[in-house]
Amino acid sequence: MSGHSKWATIRRKKGKADAERGKTFTRHIKEITVAAREGGGDPVGNPRLRSAIAAAKVSNMPADNIKRAIQKGTGELPGVSYESITYEGYGPAGVAIYIEVFTDNKNRVVAEIRHILSKYGGNLGANGCVSWMFEKKGIITVELDAVDEDTLIEIATEAGAEDIVTESGSYEVIIAPNDIDTVRSAIEAKNIPMASAEVTMRPTNSTRVDSESEAGSLLKMLELLEDNDDIQKVYTNFDIDESILEKLAG
């Protein structure tokens, strides 16, 4: 089971989603701004920007916010210049950690990441140490009660989806990154609500965490990383038994 999916589900159960609406918008703005700066402000010719806009729309981000983020990226409006960096390392039990950062202060964020990882029994590694364990995919998440599985399979596969799996109480529609907007539009056209739509790093293998103490440290570490304003996304390949998760949630 995807550690990234499990972590997203854990945060929803902890009531983080509504509380972090503003932070979600900020991350969408950063992604759109960087995508527009690096590939231009026209989503037709910029797949990364197109995907970023699609993800923002699923989060109900206002169109004016999206437009301003693009204009900041293209230089039409003033804005902070973010540097896009990735960091790789390990968490408790040797779990792979892949971190995407948009920052205006590289020295600050690398020091903070190193501190958080070491505090909970992990360590920062060299570039490439864990990235080979992940593959870039578009993933659309749909809650189980939003649609029956056969209907979703028919709609998504006809639009070009590669696979549909059930992960942590929801459907995950897996798509080639460049096809995410096409599949999202097909699902949206059928008035099926989506919990998220994003291009993500999906783990190709998993690391089992059987110790409750290590699992607790890992989840605390991930929460601190995701609460950092410079960190855009955190990916991991952990596999923790549901019984351990329930104990920790309690």
Q: Distance (Å, rounded) from C-alpha 125 to C-alpha 132?
A: 13
Domain boundary among 50, 74, 98: 74
106 and 121 co-located in one domain = yes
C-alpha atoms less than 13 angstroms from C-alpha of 127 in its C-beta half-sphere = 4
Q: Is residue 225 part of a domain?
A: yes
162 and 46 co-located in one domain = no
113 and 220 co-located in one domain = yes
126 and 210 co-located in one domain = yes
Q: Is residue 11 part of a domain?
A: no
- pLDDT for residue 241 is more than 90: no
At CA 230, angle to CA 226 and CA 234, rounded to 5?
35
- pLDDT for residue 1 is more than 50: no
For 224-239, how does the pLDDT look when each residue is reduced to its tens digit (9 = 90+)? Answer: 998 898 998 899 999 8
123 and 150 co-located in one domain = no
24 and 69 co-located in one domain = yes
**So what's the pLDDT on residue 12?**
55
- pLDDT for residue 17 is more than 60: no
Pairing of strands 170-175, 96-103: unpaired
33 and 89 co-located in one domain = no
63 and 167 co-located in one domain = no
Q: In what order do the strands lie in the sheet with 170-175?
A: 163-167, 170-175, 134-143, 196-203
Range of the domain at 185: 133-203
Lowest-confidence segment of 156-165, 193-202, 213-222, 237-246 by average pLDDT: 237-246
Q: Is residue 5 part of a domain?
A: no
Q: Is residue 65 part of a domain?
A: yes
Name 88's bridge partners. 98
Per DSSP, the three-state class of 83 is: strand
**So what's the pLDDT on residue 20?**
60
211 and 97 co-located in one domain = yes
124 and 237 co-located in one domain = yes
pLDDT band at 66 (very low <50, low <70, confident <90, very high): very high
For 143-171, how does the pLDDT look when each residue is reduced to its tens digit (9 = 90+)? Answer: 999 999 999 999 999 999 999 998 777 89
> Number of structural domains, the chain?
3
- And the tokens for 208? 């089992």
Residue of 160, 197, 185, 192 whose CA lies nearest to 51: 197
Q: Distance (Å, rounded) from C-alpha 152 to C-alpha 132?
A: 30
**So what's the pLDDT on residue 5?**
56
Q: Is residue 10 part of a domain?
A: no
**So what's the pLDDT on residue 2?**
45
- pLDDT for residue 111 is more than 70: yes
Instruction: Supply the CATH number for residue 241's domain.
Output: 3.30.70.980
**So what's the pLDDT on residue 14?**
54
Task: Please state the rounded mean pLDDT for residues 69-96.
Answer: 90
Q: Distance (Å, rounded) from C-alpha 157 to C-alpha 168?
A: 21
**So what's the pLDDT on residue 41?**
92
Task: Please state the rounded mean pLDDT for residues 79-93.
Answer: 89
Q: Is residue 1 part of a domain?
A: no
- pLDDT for residue 96 is more than 70: yes
pLDDT band at 246 (very low <50, low <70, confident <90, very high): confident
Name 235's bridge partners. 98
**So what's the pLDDT on residue 181?**
85
- pLDDT for residue 58 is more than 90: no
Instruction: Supply the CATH number for residue 22's domain.
Output: 1.10.10.200
**H-helix or E-strand spanning residue 222:** helix 212-227
Calculate helix-pair angle for 3-13, 212-227, nearest 10 degrees: 80
126 and 92 co-located in one domain = yes
37 and 148 co-located in one domain = no
% of the chain with per-residue pLDDT over 90:
53
Task: Please state the rounded mean pLDDT for residues 9-23.
Answer: 58
Q: Is residue 146 part of a domain?
A: yes
Q: Is residue 9 part of a domain?
A: no
pLDDT averaged over every residue in the chain? 87
**What residues have CB less than 8 Å from 20, skipping those under 6 apart?**
none
